[in-house]
Amino acid sequence: MCSPPSGPSRSTERGSASLAGLALLAAVVTAFLAAPQPPVPRAGGTFDVTRYLVELDLNLESGTITGREQIDAVVHDSAAELVLDSGGLVVDSVELDGTGRVPFTQRTQRLFVTLPSPAPRDGRVRLGLTYHGAPRTGLTLLAGSAQAYTTFSTSQWMVAVDAPADRAALHLQVTMPAGWRAAASGREVSRRVVDGRLVMNWWQDREVPSYTFGFVAGDLAEVTAPRGAVTLRYLGHGFSEDELRQIFRETPAMLDFFVDRAGVNYLDDAYSQALVATSGGQELAGLSHMSEAYGRSVLADATATSLIAHELAHQWWGNTVTNRDWTHFWLNEGFATFMAAAYKESARGREAYLNDVDGWRRRVDQLRAAGHDRPLVFPDWIRPTPDDRAVVYQKGALVLHELRELLGDAPFWTAVRAYTREHAGRDVTSPDLQRAFEASSGRNLSAFFAERVFPR
């Protein structure tokens, strides 16, 4: 999931690595580009955000947004300033603890807030911000299609600490055209019409990585379907309710499969999937979106569901268990790619799974032939090339398959469950995964991980 301005670029290369799957991937790949940062203080380095409260007003005709935001944080070290990511937003004012405005500057896509005196260690602070902007990335506003949706980075539409290990709660309010439908991170708590516009509120009270914040809104059809304690929502424009049900018909089985493999229940009470005008595939907390073209491809080929599975898998491997920093990004994307193929094996048989494995292997062979193979842990993961992304996605998935073949199914899946349970709600690095596989198998895997995973 995603590359905030303070982190690396991401790709949404997804799904099946069969020949047909690769053709589909070529059509849906999206790169999330971000400029490398100069050596300025790391956003969030001296404090921890506990909650964001955001009021966002969308103006589709002008392609602009205005926002009001409250940021609750705990300062860990005495500090003279707080550093947050602000992307291309223009911050208009900053207040501290409701007592008045404080000085601030913006540079290198970051917001530097000057405190009137060093904050006490472990002291709580509350910032109040106003801002505006015309997002070029991070938030797509399409007046012609009557749609708006977030696509990383979070700091392009709200001020945040854009770091994978940064978890916080979110209370989000979005004002949009009346008559729209929307889904967002968190539980919908209210909707009302004010001055002819729809105002919707969601609360994401369980802390999640800030890069998983987001929403989809627009002139969309909607279908809901209960699945135990989880309400499934399918949204899209230009599709009938029956077509939406057909496109996402395997979501309930995927949900059951990933719960079983993770050993951790789905943690929210709803999961929404949306088809939007242009999307390579995007996972958010409790929500994912894909392109309308992809939805039509599933109608044409009922087996082309790898992208749907990939994004759902991220609710566990990526959103619940999250790479600590972008150098361990394969723990998100390699896992989701592998788990989508593992679901395919359960639904369509061993041959379908092995077709994906063969595709991964061919891609890795291409990397090696070109001299572009790399360890899975990138010491300089800032501006990844398409080959770099193939390392993270396809090679990452292939390494998990190789572990499965080396250890056998029982130790492999025992390790996956133990790893996911132990680190649910936390951030991880590759040694955490190595320890889980060693504990389940009783084997020393140092040589395996040194050869494939860690930089040499």
Evaluate whether residue 142 is within a structural domain. Answer: yes
State the Cα–Cα distance between residues 432 and 423, nearest whole angstrom.
9
Q: Which of 259, 287, 312 is a domain's end point?
A: 312
- Report residue 234: phi and psi, to 5°: -120, 125
State the pLDDT at residue 56: 98
Residue 29 pLDDT class (50, 70, 90 cuts): very low
Each residue of 54-72: pLDDT tens digit?
A: 999 999 999 999 999 999 9
Is the same domain home to 229 and 307? yes
Could you list the residue range(s) of the whole structural domain that residue 305 is in?
A: 217-312
In this structure, the answer to whether residues 233 and 209 fall within a common structural domain is no
Domain boundary, last residue among 312, 342, 358: 312
CA distance 173 to 350: 45
Is-contact 138 298, C-beta < 8 A?
A: no
In a domain, 66, yes or no: yes
What is the mean predicted confidence (pLDDT) over 268-286? 95
Residues 253, 206 share a domain: no
Residues 206 and 59 in one domain: yes
How does residue 356 score in pLDDT terms, banded at 50, 70 and 90?
very high
In this structure, are residues 123 and 50 in contact, taking their beta carbons and an 8 Å threshold?
no
Token pair for residue 293? 């073209």
In a domain, 419, yes or no: no
Span 184-203, mean pLDDT?
97
Same domain, 205 and 253: no
Based on the domain organization, do 144 and 231 belong to the same domain?
no
What are residue 323's DSSP bridge partners?
428
DSSP-assigned letters across all residues of 298-341: HHH-TT--HHHHHHHHTTTBTTTEEESSGGGTHHHHHHHHHHHH
Instruction: State whether 206 and 226 are in the same domain.
Output: no
Tally of structural domains, the chain: 2
Residue 387 lies in a domain: no
155, 87 in Cβ contact below 8 A?
yes
Residue 290, domain member (yes or no): yes
Would you give the DSSP letter of residue 76? S
Domain assignment of residue 445, yes or no:
no
Please tell me whether residues 208 and 252 are part of one structural domain.
no
Confidence class of residue 39 from pLDDT cuts 50, 70 and 90?
very low
Identify the CATH number of the domain in which residue 111 sits. 2.60.40.1730
Of 246, 197, 191, whose CA–CA distance to 66 is shortest? 197
Mean pLDDT over the full length of the chain: 90
CATH of the domain at 293: 1.10.390.10
pLDDT at residue 27 is higher than 70 = no
The tens digit of pLDDT for each residue in 372-418 reads 999 999 876 667 889 999 999 999 999 999 999 999 999 999 999 99
Virtual torsion, Cα 90, 141, 276, 213, nearest 10 deg = 20
Q: CA 21, CA 65: separation in Å to the nearest integer?
A: 37
**pLDDT band, residue 42 (cuts 50/70/90):** low
pLDDT reported for residue 378: 81
pLDDT in tens, 164-186: 989 999 999 999 999 999 999 99
Domain-located, residue 320:
no
Please state, in angstroms and rounded to a whole number, the distance separating the CA atoms of residues 237 and 244.
10
| 130 lies in the same domain as 274 | no
- Per the DSSP assignment, residues forming a β-bridge with 199 are 175, 192
Confidence label for 122 from pLDDT (cuts 50, 70 and 90): low
Taking Cα atoms as reference points, which of 293, 341, 291, 292 lies closest to residue 313?
341
DSSP 6-29: TS--EE---S--SHHHHHHHHHH-
- Percent with pLDDT over 90 in the chain: 80
| Model pLDDT, residue 314 | 98
Q: For position 305, what pLDDT does the model report?
A: 97
**CB neighbours (10 Å) of residue 383?**
14
Pair 97, 157: CB distance under 8 Å: no
152 and 247 together in one domain: no
Q: Which of 21-25, 88-92, 232-236, 282-286 has the lowest mean pLDDT?
A: 21-25
At residue 78, the pLDDT reads: 75
What average pLDDT score do residues 335-340 get? Answer: 98
151/208 same-domain check: yes
Q: What is the mean pLDDT of residues 257-274?
A: 97
Which tokens in the block code for residue 305? 């569901």
| One domain for residues 99 and 242 | no
* pLDDT, tens digit, 9 for 90 and up, residues 76-111: 877 789 999 999 999 999 999 988 999 999 999 999
Q: Which of 188, 167, 171 is nearest to 235 (CA)?
A: 188
Does 438 fall in a domain? Answer: no
Domain boundary residue among 294, 312, 330? Answer: 312
